[in-house]
Amino acid sequence: MADVRQEQPRQTAVWRPRAAMVPRARLPVPPAPGKPGEVWPVLPQPSEWRASFPLPTWMAALDQVASRPAQGLAIGIHLPLCAQRCAYCAHDVVATGDGSAVDRYLDALEIELELAASILGTRRELLRLHVGGGTPNLLDDAQLGRLVERVERHFRWPADAESSIDCDPRRSSRAQLALLRALGFRHLRFGMADLDPGVQAGSGRLQSRALVAEAVLAAQQAGFDSVALDLVCGLPGQDTARLAATLEALQRIGPDRIRCLRYVHDPARYPGQRAVPCDAVSLAAEVDAAFAFAARALQAAGYLPVGDGWFVLDGDPWLEARATGTLRRWLHGYASGSAADTLGFGPGRISAAGAVLARNEPLRGEWERRLRDGRLPVVAAHHRGALEARLHAAADHLFAYHELPRALLGDGLEAIWDAIGAHAADGWVARAPDRLRVTAEGCGHLPELARPLVARAARPLQPA
């Protein structure tokens, strides 16, 4: 195997977050339409990273992780493969019905796990594990077992680790859910998008309400600690009445958690979206309006906001963690407990170790090539400065705790305090002398509230 510390000769890939978002929903447009986009759970945002030598930067960070063998880790594993591509999809995934393609992908993933483990030196304990996609339950039983075996070969996966997996309800069965639970996954999240047949036809993803309800019930009966459903806000044809009907149906289905996502429309990057009709002028505001509508409806139905579009029922462990000050926002949602270095596996995955952020090569073929050459596939990295770390901590706290203590922001960032505090006029925050508190209405606008933090982290070289 080649030296994993060898810097790759090619240019560092430039990666930018998804740009515009497009809906056709006929929802009330807010008076001051914003275009916040999604806020990545890291600051600075990946488009701002500027390490000249990403791989050596990341290798030095991994050496630091290796020097702390008693500390638990978090890992995220990406499986960008689906049975078919939904028209609205804004992910870099490949549609395949070929089991050997899955095996080849797992071969590369195993190399990446092995390379990381060889640098870390010991079989490190996992605090958190997320397997996302794509469609992880595209894998057959043997492939799922193989994936878990390889993870456990390199990491200790205790039964109480926060472990979660994304699934497509159209591919799940009671037997598969029982297997996933037996393999050690504690939390399960189903993709869904919308339950209205008209919206489904426009977005290219068909699944009946009965199928989704049966999948959620089966997962709950299989013993998962939580079962979540994803709702996409701002899909074409998703007017107020249809969205309200879907939200009502969701209540009856009764998932433990619901994740509201904003529709992202970028047909230049995702050609399948050319089939999705939209009005580019009003789309961002309409997506935001749909999201805010869903946030209000879910809160009225008893689902409480966490952050990043997550809504949970009363008694959820995330709410208990928030009450005790132990709720953590991490790259794949929320968790209770201590902060952890996070390693991402798969094309485009983000890692965070100490003050260093890194991102893998996003193109699957190139990611695989690097691994088959025995090289870690990191192509972008960034060493966070003190100011950036402060901004990142403030954003995490805002999303997880729905407040911004003045002390957390610190000196020199008064303009940010004022900019976020100005949303008191929208009813999104309440001002107190020592903190800004996000209101119930403001919980549907966390990305907009965080925008001054994101913007300030985009120019870290200027003094605070």
- Site for ligand SF4, rule CB under 6 A: 82, 85-86, 89, 91, 93, 133-135, 168, 191
- Spatial contact of 333 and 308, defined as CB atoms under 8 Å apart: yes
Which is nearer to ligand SF4, 55 or 86 (by Cβ)? 86
Between 72 and 202, whose beta carbon lies closer to ligand SF4?
202
- C-beta nearest to ligand SF4: residue: 89
DSSP 305: E
> Which of 72, 362 has the CB closer to ligand SF4?
362
Instruction: Provide the minimum distance between the beta carbon of 233 and ligand SF4 in the complex, in angstroms, as a whole number.
Output: 14
Q: Collapsing DSSP states into helix, strand and coil, what is residue 152?
A: helix
Taking the complex as a whole, how short is the minimal distance between the CB of residue 177 and ligand SF4, in angstroms?
Answer: 17
Query: Which residues on adjacent β-strands are paired with residue 79?
Result: 133
Q: How far is the CB of 93 from ligand SF4 (least distance, A)?
A: 5
Q: Nearest distance from residue 19's CB to ligand SF4, in Å?
A: 18
Which residues in 263-349 belong to E strands, given as ranges?
303-305, 310-313, 327-330, 333-336, 341-345
**Strand ranges, E, within 44-108:** 73-79, 81-82, 94-95
Asked if 109 and 101 touch (Cβ cutoff 8 Å), the reply is no
Nearer to ligand SF4, 81 or 438 (CB): 81
Name the residue nearer to ligand SF4 (CB basis): 133 or 344. Answer: 133
12: helix, coil or strand? Answer: coil
For the bound state, the minimum distance from the C-beta of residue 167 to ligand SF4, rounded and expressed in Å, comes to 10
Burial of 147 from C-beta contacts in 10 A (0-12 / 13-18 / 19+):
buried
User: Is the CB of 277 or the CB of 427 nearer to ligand SF4?
Assistant: 277
Task: Specify the residue, 57 or 238, whose C-beta has the smaller distance to ligand SF4.
Answer: 238
The strand pairing partners of 371, in sequence order, are none
From the number of C-beta atoms within 10 Å of its C-beta (0-12, 13-18, 19+), residue 18 rates as: middle
Nearer to ligand SF4, 137 or 360 (CB): 137
* CA 174 vs CA 159, 180, 219, 220, 293: distances in Å: 21, 10, 7, 10, 34
Say if residues 15 and 228 touch (Cβ distance below 8 Å): no
Distance CA 318, CA 400 (A): 9
Q: Which of 354, 353, 341, 348 is nearest to 379 (CA)?
A: 348
Least distance between ligand SF4 and beta carbon 66 (Å): 33
Determine how many CB atoms are found less than 10 A away from the CB of residue 408. 16
The rounded distance, in Å, linking the Cα atoms of 163 and 120 is 21
Distance from C-alpha of 238 to C-alpha of 244, rounded to nearest angstrom: 9
Which residue is associated with the tokens 């000769």? 9
Q: Which is nearer to ligand SF4, 89 or 371 (CB)?
A: 89
| Distance in Å, CB of 191 to ligand SF4, minimum | 5
The total of other beta-carbon atoms located within 10 Å of residue 437's CB is: 15
CB of 204 to ligand SF4, least distance (A): 8
* Tokens describing residue 66: 């290796």
Tell me how far apart the alpha carbons of residues 45 and 306 are, in angstroms, rounded to a whole number: 21
Minimum Å gap between C-beta 135 and ligand SF4 is: 5
Minimal distance, residue 245 CB to ligand SF4, in Å: 21
In the complex with ligand SF4, which residue's Cβ is closer, 191 or 444?
191
* Paired tokens of 266: 């970028």
